[in-house]
């Protein structure tokens, strides 16, 4: 009998939540293995003993596959479960959106991990970069239900997570983007996703413990 797949990460939402939402949506049973910082048994003491190429968190194990990199994991699962673009034009759109979402994630990391010690000072700089692109996506989603046309792809889970964590830090975030608000609601209500988000399996913390906010 095939063993249960394992997704390993810290006990935070971070880079793992989009992968978890995808797994929950397609109904794959998986073990979520939580690593900690214990000096002998924790991640940094053990990471080089796990026989994972480029060991990092998250990593994923399924049968003889054992690999890291959140993008590689979610794209592998998306291909396996038919949640990828279906033709060349859609593949281009998928890759454009992929890049935009990486930009958003980098800006989020800058704000909560890297910028100055005063989050309030840095918020306007963050919004100046994020909001114009959000506005364009809001306009795009007036005409289509998902990021790639009319069908769900893995990027929708990544974008949902980005929108959702922004609403935690900026409660009014979606008010200026009515189509993103509807989109957020649409993804949130997908089969398996709402149950997961409302469960105690969805970690309380968004970021790592060194973050200025949400850790």
Question: What does the binding site for ligand GSH look like in residue numbers (CB under 6 A)?
Answer: 14-15, 47, 56-58, 68-71, 208
The residue with its CB nearest to ligand GSH is 70
Please report, in angstroms and rounded to a whole number, the separation of the first and last CA atoms in the chain.
38
Residue entry with tokens 């033709």 = 87
Residue 120: CB minimum distance to ligand GSH, A: 24
Closest Cα to residue 27, out of 201, 200, 196? Answer: 196
Q: How far is CA 16 from CA 10, 32, 71, 113, 187, in A?
A: 9, 10, 10, 18, 17
Cβ-based nearer residue to ligand GSH, 69 or 188: 69
* Beta carbon of residue 1, minimum distance to ligand GSH (angstroms, whole number): 29
In this complex, which beta carbon is closest to ligand GSH, that of residue 68 or of residue 94? 68
Give how far Cα 204 sits from Cα of 101, 177, 201, Å. 22, 26, 9
Q: How far is the CB of 18 from ligand GSH (least distance, A)?
A: 11
Identify which of residues 41 and 176 has a Cβ nearer to ligand GSH in the complex. Answer: 41
Q: Which residue has the tokens 């906010």?
A: 213
- To ligand GSH, the closest distance from the beta carbon of 175 in angstroms equals 29
Contact at 8 Å (CB) between 173 and 131?
Answer: no
Q: Which is nearer to ligand GSH, 67 or 170 (CB)?
A: 67
**CB nearer ligand GSH, residue 69 or residue 194:** 69
CB of 155 to ligand GSH, least distance (A): 14
Cβ neighbours of residue 188 under 8 Å, at least 6 residues apart?
Answer: 160, 164, 194, 197
């Amino acid at each position: 009998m095939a063993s249960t797949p394992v997704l390993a990460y810290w006990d935070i939402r971070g880079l793992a939540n989009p992968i978890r939402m995808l797994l929950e949506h397609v109904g794959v049973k998986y073990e979520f293995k939580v690593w900690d910082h214990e000096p002998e048994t924790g991640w940094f003491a053990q990471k080089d003993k796990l026989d994972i190429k480029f060991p990092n968190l998250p990593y994923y194990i399924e049968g003889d596959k054992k690999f890291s990199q959140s993008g590689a994991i979610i794209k592998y699962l998306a291909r396996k479960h038919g949640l990828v673009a279906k033709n060349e034009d859609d593949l281009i759109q998928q890759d454009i959106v992929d890049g935009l979402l990486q930009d958003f994630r980098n800006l989020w990391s800058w704000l909560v991990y890297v910028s100055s010690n005063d989050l309030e000072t840095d918020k306007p700089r963050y919004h100046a970069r994020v909001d114009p692109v959000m506005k364009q996506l809001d306009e795009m989603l007036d005409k289509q239900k998902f990021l790639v046309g009319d069908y769900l792809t893995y990027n929708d889970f990544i974008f949902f997570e980005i929108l959702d964590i922004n609403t935690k830090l900026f409660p009014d975030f979606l008010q200026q983007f009515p189509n993103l608000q509807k989109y957020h609601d649409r993804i949130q209500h997908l089969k398996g996703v709402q149950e997961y988000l409302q469960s105690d399996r969805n970690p309380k913390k968004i970021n790592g413990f060194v973050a200025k906010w949400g850790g």
